[in-house]
Amino acid sequence: MADTSPMDLYESLEAQGGKVRALKSAKAEKAEIDAAVQLLLKLKVDYKQTTGQDYKAGCPPSEDAAVQDNGLAADGADEADTVNPWDVSTTNAKGVDYDKLIVRFGSSKVEKELVDRIERVAGQKPHRFLRRGIFFSHRDMHQVLDAYEKQKSFYLYTGRGPSSEAMHVGHLIPFIFTKWLQDVFDIPLVIQLTDDEKYLWKDLSLDECHRFAEENAKDIIACGFDVNKTFIFSDLDYMGSSPDFYRNVVKVQKHVTFNQVKGIFGFTDSDCIGKISFPAIQAAPSFSNSFPQIFKGRKDVQCLIPCAIDQDPYFRMTRDVAPRIGYPKPALLHSTFFPALQGAQTKMSASDATSSIFLTDTPKQIKNKVNKHAFSGGKDTVEEHRKYGGNADVDVSFMYLTFFLDDDAQLEKIRQDYTSGALLTGELKKILIETLQPMIAEHQERRKQVTEETVKQFMTPRPLNFNF
Work out how close the CB of 463 gets to ligand TRP at its nearest, in angstroms, rounded to a whole number: 22
Work out how close the CB of 228 gets to ligand TRP at its nearest, in angstroms, rounded to a whole number: 22
- Contact range with ligand TRP by CB under 6 A, out of 192-200, 318-326, 399-407, 443-451: 192-200
Residue 160 is a binding residue for ligand TRP (CB under 6 A): yes
The 3-state DSSP composition of the chain as helix, strand, coil percent (nearest 5) reads 55, 10, 35
Q: Which of 353, 372, 349 is nearest to 429 (CA)?
A: 372
Number of residues this chain uses to bind ligand TRP (CB under 6 A):
12
Residue 182 is a binding residue for ligand TRP (CB under 6 A): no
Helix (H), strand (E) at residue 308:
strand 302-308
How far apart CA 360 and CA 286 sit, in angstroms, is 32
- Contact range with ligand TRP by CB under 6 A, out of 5-13, 38-46, 153-161, 440-448: 153-161
CA 322 to chain centroid: 21
Residue closer to ligand TRP, measured from CB, 159 or 263? 159
Please check whether residue 195 is in contact with residue 162, taking contact to mean a CB–CB distance below 8 angstroms.
Answer: yes
Work out how close the CB of 400 gets to ligand TRP at its nearest, in angstroms, rounded to a whole number: 21
Point out which residues pair with 109 in neighbouring strands: 137
Amino acid at 106: G
Q: Given candidates 158, 178, 182, 318, which one binds ligand TRP under the rule CB under 6 A? A: 158
Residue closer to ligand TRP, measured from CB, 158 or 242? 158
Residue 398 phi, psi (nearest 5)? -65, -40
Work out how close the CB of 25 gets to ligand TRP at its nearest, in angstroms, rounded to a whole number: 28
Q: Given candidates 16, 192, 242, 346, which one binds ligand TRP under the rule CB under 6 A? A: 192
Binding mask 242-281 for ligand TRP (x = CB under 6 A): ----------------------------------------
β-pairing, 331-335 with 302-308? parallel
β-pairing, 302-308 with 189-193? unpaired
C-alpha atoms less than 13 angstroms from C-alpha of 86 in its C-beta half-sphere: 12
Work out how close the CB of 161 gets to ligand TRP at its nearest, in angstroms, rounded to a whole number: 3
Residue closer to ligand TRP, measured from CB, 71 or 421? 71
Residue closer to ligand TRP, measured from CB, 285 or 390? 285
Residue 419 is a binding residue for ligand TRP (CB under 6 A): no
Work out how close the CB of 261 gets to ligand TRP at its nearest, in angstroms, rounded to a whole number: 14
Work out how close the CB of 197 gets to ligand TRP at its nearest, in angstroms, rounded to a whole number: 6
In whole angstroms, how far apart are CA 64 and each of 51, 60, 117, 293? 11, 11, 35, 36
Q: Given candidates 58, 159, 188, 266, which one binds ligand TRP under the rule CB under 6 A? A: 159
Point out which residues pair with 83 in neighbouring strands: 88
Burial 120-134 (b: 16+ CB within 10 A, else e): eebeeebbbbbbbbb
Work out how close the CB of 157 gets to ligand TRP at its nearest, in angstroms, rounded to a whole number: 6
Residue 87 phi, psi (nearest 5)? -155, 130
Work out how close the CB of 101 gets to ligand TRP at its nearest, in angstroms, rounded to a whole number: 17
Q: Given candidates 17, 161, 378, 421, which one binds ligand TRP under the rule CB under 6 A? A: 161
How far apart CA 348 and CA 14 sit, in angstroms, is 33
Q: Given candidates 107, 178, 194, 355, which one binds ligand TRP under the rule CB under 6 A? A: 194
Within 8 A by CB and 6+ apart from 232, the residues are: 190, 191, 193, 217, 220, 221, 458, 459
Residues between 295 and 314 with contacts to ligand TRP, criterion CB under 6 A? 305, 307, 311
The residue ranges that bind ligand TRP (CB under 6 A) are: 157-161, 192, 194, 197, 282, 305, 307, 311
